[in-house]
Amino acid sequence: MRAIVPPYLLSRLASADAPHLAHAAEAARATLAMPRVYHSARVNLDVSVEGDALVFEGSPAPDRIISDAQRREVLPGVQVRTEDGPASADASVEQAFAGLGDTFDFLWDAFARASIDGAGGTLAATVHYGENYDNAFWNGERMVFGDGDGEVFTGFTSSISVIAHELGHGVVEFSGGLDYQGQSGALNESIADVFGAMTEQHTLGQSAAEATWLIGAGIFTDAVQGVALRSMKAPGTAYDDDVLGRDPQPAHMRDYVQTSEDNGGVHINSGIPNKAFQLAAVALGGASWERAGRIWYLTLTGGALARDADFAAFAAATTQTAEREYGEQSEEVAAVRTAWGAVGVSIGDATA
């Protein structure tokens, strides 16, 4: 399972003993205890190609299916919204439907990628999963949204960055995947954040300089001292709350967190490559997906990235992509090199 709320944050909430948070603490404990199965993508595509490109007539349109779990832990749930069906009176259904569409539009506009599988595949989601479920996740086949506990977490369908982040995990998987452990797992999380941030910026018409670079803004209630789950611009500053603690993400390799929890710190150490991408995108100017995003995307989908790639290997790969696409002496190469250097990742130290 690839979930937006990291286990260490839910664990903090689960151990809260304040009477006014009893409901939220119980919801967090239930969320942590709920079994979830991740289905790795298995692709068997039969598509027509012309040269290196998929051939489409005109611009492809999304194929979205939204189901309602009706607060049970059963997937997919009851189908309630389709591409050609009427709109729903349920706000969560409509928000999920719109968010899937925004992500589809971004992938096509930015990279001519038709859906997360690159072949126009169906985008499926389930809303109202579980009772007071404090998370949203990609299970390898669909997006799944909880409604939150109402005290600490609100519903998750209102955040475009959350939706695009989770679908970004699908893009990673369909592109060959990155092992969900240690640095490769942190890269998996970071690339999903990159897709989340770029999709939100694309939807809002923001440049890299104008963007907040927040992931999950709006999913906390007003009771929480924090603005989002993560900040790509300033890792470690997204929240500082009496119950949830302080955002533990590092922004530099000198602060890299060695831990056996959270699959080796995949949600924590993703702050380092997150910051590198944000620096590169702002340095290059304009929209984040135009050059920095293109370099990251081509690196991910080029077929040469090892599943167990570490930060240094990915830094080297993005540099090589920039050199191939823009020239060795280009400003794109300089921006990528400078960004990785700023977070303490040495391109010469690649081991994977």
Give the whole-angstrom CA distance, residue 65 versus residue 67: 7
The residue written with tokens 């998750």 in the block is 156
> Whole-angstrom Cα distance, residue 5 to residue 73?
18
Tell me, what amino acid is at 32? L
Q: Which of 151, 166, 173, 332 is catalytic?
A: 166
- Distance, in Å, from the CA atom of 164 to the CA atom of 143, rounded to the nearest integer, reads 10
Q: Is the peptide bond before 76 cis (omega within 30 degrees of 0)?
A: yes
Distances (CA, A) of 343 to 87, 198, 219, 235: 46, 20, 28, 11
- Nearest CA among 61, 1, 11, 84 for reference residue 35: 1
Question: Which residue shows structure tokens 């007003």?
Answer: 222
Q: Is 166 a catalytic residue?
A: yes
Question: Is residue 70 within 8 Å of 129, Cβ to Cβ?
Answer: no
Is 252 a known active-site residue? no
3-state SS, residue 257? coil
Of 151, 173, 267, 332, which residue is the catalytic one? 267
Q: What is each CA distance from 324 to 174, 202, 298, 320, in whole angstroms?
A: 23, 26, 11, 6
Q: How far apart are CA 326 and CA 203, in angstroms?
A: 27
CA angle 183, 39, 176 (to 5 degrees): 50
User: How many residues in total does the chain contain?
Assistant: 352
Q: Which residues are catalytic?
A: 166, 267
